[in-house]
Amino acid sequence: MTSKGFKVNELGKRNKVAIEPKVYEEQTPKAGFTEYAEKLNGRLAMIGFVSLIAVEVITGQGLIGWLTNL
Protein backbone atom coordinates (compact mmCIF):
# COMPACT_ATOMS: atom_id res chain seq x y z
CA MET A 1 0.00 0.00 0.00
CA THR A 2 1.34 3.46 -0.86
CA SER A 3 0.43 6.93 0.26
CA LYS A 4 1.61 9.82 -1.94
CA GLY A 5 4.96 8.25 -2.81
CA PHE A 6 5.64 6.72 0.60
CA LYS A 7 5.42 3.11 1.65
CA VAL A 8 3.02 2.17 4.40
CA ASN A 9 3.91 -0.86 6.50
CA GLU A 10 1.49 -3.43 7.89
CA LEU A 11 0.89 -1.26 11.01
CA GLY A 12 -0.26 1.69 8.90
CA LYS A 13 2.85 3.80 9.55
CA ARG A 14 4.43 5.65 6.66
CA ASN A 15 8.03 5.02 5.81
CA LYS A 16 10.17 8.19 5.63
CA VAL A 17 11.96 6.93 2.54
CA ALA A 18 10.49 7.38 -0.93
CA ILE A 19 9.45 4.32 -2.92
CA GLU A 20 12.44 2.73 -4.60
CA PRO A 21 12.22 1.86 -8.28
CA LYS A 22 11.95 -1.78 -9.27
CA VAL A 23 15.29 -3.39 -10.02
CA TYR A 24 15.71 -4.47 -13.62
CA GLU A 25 18.20 -7.24 -14.33
CA GLU A 26 19.37 -7.45 -17.90
CA GLN A 27 18.92 -10.95 -19.28
CA THR A 28 21.59 -10.77 -22.00
CA PRO A 29 24.93 -12.31 -21.04
CA LYS A 30 27.95 -10.00 -20.68
CA ALA A 31 30.55 -12.56 -21.79
CA GLY A 32 30.76 -15.41 -24.27
CA PHE A 33 29.33 -15.69 -27.76
CA THR A 34 27.01 -12.72 -27.67
CA GLU A 35 25.69 -10.98 -30.78
CA TYR A 36 27.77 -7.88 -30.02
CA ALA A 37 30.99 -9.89 -29.60
CA GLU A 38 30.42 -11.73 -32.85
CA LYS A 39 29.78 -8.49 -34.76
CA LEU A 40 32.90 -6.88 -33.29
CA ASN A 41 35.01 -9.93 -34.11
CA GLY A 42 33.75 -9.97 -37.70
CA ARG A 43 34.40 -6.27 -38.18
CA LEU A 44 37.94 -6.54 -36.82
CA ALA A 45 38.60 -9.52 -39.09
CA MET A 46 37.41 -7.48 -42.10
CA ILE A 47 39.71 -4.60 -41.16
CA GLY A 48 42.65 -7.00 -40.83
CA PHE A 49 41.92 -8.66 -44.16
CA VAL A 50 41.65 -5.33 -46.00
CA SER A 51 44.88 -4.16 -44.32
CA LEU A 52 46.65 -7.32 -45.48
CA ILE A 53 45.52 -6.74 -49.06
CA ALA A 54 46.64 -3.08 -48.84
CA VAL A 55 50.13 -4.14 -47.70
CA GLU A 56 50.40 -6.56 -50.62
CA VAL A 57 49.26 -3.93 -53.14
CA ILE A 58 51.55 -1.20 -51.78
CA THR A 59 54.72 -3.33 -51.37
CA GLY A 60 54.18 -5.83 -54.20
CA GLN A 61 54.98 -8.68 -51.80
CA GLY A 62 52.99 -10.90 -49.50
CA LEU A 63 52.93 -10.23 -45.77
CA ILE A 64 55.61 -12.83 -44.93
CA GLY A 65 57.91 -11.59 -47.69
CA TRP A 66 57.42 -7.97 -46.62
CA LEU A 67 58.16 -8.77 -42.97
CA THR A 68 61.36 -10.71 -43.81
CA ASN A 69 62.71 -7.84 -45.94
CA LEU A 70 62.41 -5.18 -43.25
- Please provide the DSSP assignment of the chain as one string: -EETTEEE-TTSPEEEEEPPPPP----S-SSSS-HHHHHHHHHHHHHHHHHHHHHHHHHSS-HHHHHHT-
The overall pTM is greater than 0.75:
no
Domain assignment of residue 56, yes or no: yes
* Number of domains within the chain: 1
Residue-level pLDDT at 50: 95
Domain assignment of residue 2, yes or no: no
Tens-place pLDDT, residues 25-65: 777 666 778 888 899 999 999 999 999 999 889 888 887 88
Higher pLDDT, 27 or 3: 27
Range of the domain at 63: 7-69
Domain assignment of residue 1, yes or no: no
Domain assignment of residue 26, yes or no: yes
Domain assignment of residue 63, yes or no: yes
Domain assignment of residue 21, yes or no: yes
- Rounded to an integer, what distance in angstroms lies between the CA atom of residue 16 and that of residue 4? 12
- Rounded to an integer, what distance in angstroms lies between the CA atom of residue 65 and that of residue 19? 68
